[in-house]
Amino acid sequence: MQFFKRIFKWSPPRILAAGFALIILCGSVLLSLPFASSNGSFTPYIDALFTATTSTCVTGLVTVDTGSHWSVAGQVIILILIQLGGLGFMTMATLFALVLRKRILLRERLILQEALNQNSMEGIVRLIRKVITYALTIELAGAVLFAVRWSFDMPIGKAIYFGLFHAVSFFNNAGIDLFGQFGVPFISLTGYADDPLVNIVTMLLIILGGIGFIVIADVMDYRSTKRLSLHSKVVLSTTAALIVVGTLVVFIFEFSNTKTLGSLHWGGKILASFFQSVTTRTAGANTVDLASLRQATQFFMVILMFIGASPGSTGGGIKTTTFTVLAVAVLSMIRGKEDIVLFRFRLAQERINKALTITMLSLTLVIIVTMILTTTEDQAFIKILFETTSAFATVGLTLGITPELTTIGKTLIILMMFVGRLGPLTLAYALRPRQERALFRYPEGKITIG
């Protein structure tokens, strides 16, 4: 009883970290059992743990092919973990509480505020209702469109199942797919590189899942409010700019590469370039062989993955707002301006400090894990950097080394996915000891910079 009282007193970041860890552990135990595998045998626990983590953290990196290794029961467990991880376990718990007409207490509202990365608790339950409604509506629409398209390629029952699984997976930016059961493992969507419907629906699901529920709610309310918040303006403009720049870079560097875009017609080249730019923002699906991309393209994709999606979304990375705030801060410093201004709004110094802290923590983590993996894995540096960044940003793209990782490598990638889903700053808050209020301040000092 004392243990549960102690848990109840935990800070919201610590409860979030413990909640995700508990879901992963439960999922890993279930996935390791014989009923979860297609051949009815036990799955090595490290692979079950890896799969449970990549599903709950909506990453998409897999050590065993999802379509061929797991039974239908195992795939359903993965699907549930993706939904829980994408929307957040507190969001799902709130859904059940609302259905049962239970009151959402102050403690629960604080945790929801932390989970959705909100600045205040005002309207948090109303936002949760919108999150659930928008998510289920978008996933259902995607499932129907996928099912209609794939009914031409497979029996209608399987097409419906595939439509539902992939709509949930892509909207939650997990990128886990089932196409490996058709004979070629880890194939993703490479068989649909020039299919307009599959590409467009997938990209829309990824973008909607990646811009965040706050922005979706803001856009949906625009008809009545006639205005967008500063957050929504920054997210939408940055997302659009990164997608366009990413598309141009992939198109230019891979245009003549016969192993990627070179063999496609003009429409296919543009579509594939667009898709790779969108999916790099934490989605995990791909329509071309990423291992065959030129190293310049692979490195640029590492940068896009590191930036990631937007706050309050199903994606990872340092987030688009963090990137924009730092970029504008640098430009303001170069121009000699004291204030950091975005869309005629001045940003508080606290926002700049938080953006800098998140970026430095994230960069340090990626560098350290990459250095360790270069000693434990017999792989090229660019592949290890790509894998590490993909895990941290919960992207799920790989250059083909995930199944070949050693036990140490798998463990490190599992930790990276977990940290990436929670966010390094949230995890740091969860692990830090209780802070005591400082009773004094040190005198200001001067140090030469630059």
- Let me know if residue 180 belongs to a domain: yes
342's enclosing H/E stretch is: strand 341-342
pLDDT of residue 148: 96
pLDDT of residue 425: 65
Which domain, by its residues, includes 63? 13-428
- Identify whether 445 is part of a domain: no
Residue 1: what pLDDT? 45
Amino acid 176 reads I
Q: Is residue 448 part of a domain?
A: no
The answer to the question of residue 30 being in a domain is yes
- In angstroms, rounded to a whole number, what is the distance separating the alpha carbons of residues 421 and 314? 9
Packed helices 295-307 and 349-376: angle between N→C axes, nearest 10 degrees: 140
- pLDDT for position 311: 83
**Average pLDDT, stretch 46-54?**
96
What is the reported pTM? 0.88
pLDDT tens digits, one per residue of 392-426: 999 999 999 999 999 999 999 999 999 988 877 66
86 and 139 in contact (C-beta within 8 Å)? no
Residue 1 is assigned to a structural domain of this protein:
no
Please say if the pLDDT value at position 117 is more than 80: no
Asked if residue 370 is part of any domain, the answer here is yes
Q: Do 393 and 306 meet the contact criterion of CB atoms below 8 Å apart?
A: yes
- Residue 422 has what pLDDT? 80
Q: What is the structure's pLDDT at 429?
A: 58
Between CA 188 and CA 124 the distance in angstroms is 37
249 lies in a domain? yes
Domain membership of residue 446 (yes or no) is no
For residue 390, the tally of other CB atoms under 10 A from its CB is: 32
In the chain, the number of structural domains is 1
pLDDT in tens, 299-336: 999 999 999 988 877 788 899 999 999 999 999 888 88
